[in-house]
Copies of this chain bind each other. A is one copy, B any other.
Amino acid sequence: MARHDVPGDRPAEQPPDAGQDRRELIRLAAVELFARHGYRGTTVRAIAERAGVDPALVMYHYGSKENVFSTVIRETMRAEELLPELPRLLDEVADTDSADDPAADGTCPGGPGSRLLRGFLTRWEDAATRPSLLVVFRSAMEHPEASQLFREVAGGELLLPLARRIPAPDPELRAALVASLLVGLVTGRYVVPIEPLAGMELDTVVGLYGPYADDMLLGRLGGSPPPGRPGG
């Protein structure tokens, strides 16, 4: 019997070149195809063909199509993989002492929001990483498991730790705001590219969106007149 196990026990006792290379080949093919055509648009046979392998081997290694998908999603959605510089960014967010008016100082060219933005976008710019991210992103709109996993990781492992460090009122709200800003940006730049957003330089994008991200994290929410919600 092969190991179709989702759990994290990786014995890694057998020689790494024996069999596991084909399994990895299948996974990579699956990432590519899931990213392009979504869950239902990708067939087990297509994955096998792209990996140069018999369809039955996919079942042998993963047990089911659903399990291939699960594996790909979970692999991608590990926070360390998704945003390796997260701990450093968290510290930067917490280090910002001018909580109420971060821009009045005039000395910060890019606040923590800008740096968070740049971190994510850098991952997306990498042609090797983008397919994996696209899998999660696209299928979060199609596949229930992907949707839930997306919520769990995005919320629990990224936004919540971020929110806890924000030295400003309503941290969860601020985290959600930045998240939605990022989702919109990524969608318009990589998923359904619209110009001129898709063609701009990374630095230009960060320069444009950064101030909004910074303000969402540390600024005074609600703009000029506080509509109904007393911030603090």
Contact = CB atoms under 8 A, between A and B. Distances in A.
A183 B177 contact: no
Nearest to A170: B196
Interface centre among A201, A203, A212 (most CB of B within 10 A): A212
A228 B203 contact: yes
A215 B225 contact: yes
A67 interface: no
Contact of A187 (B180, B215, B220): B180
Interface stretch (A6-14, A90-98, A103-111): A103-111
A154 interface: yes
A83 interface: no
Interface in A175-225: 176-177, 179-185, 187-189, 191-192, 194-197, 201, 203-204, 206-212, 214-216, 219-225
Contacts of A212: 212, 215-216, 225
Nearest to A181: B184
Main secondary structure of the interface of A (DSSP, over half): helix
A142 interface: yes
A157 interface: no
A104 B197 CA distance: 28
Contacts of A214: 223, 225
A185 B192 contact: no
7 contacts: A141-B142, A179-B194, A182-B184, A208-B222, A211-B228, A214-B223, A215-B226
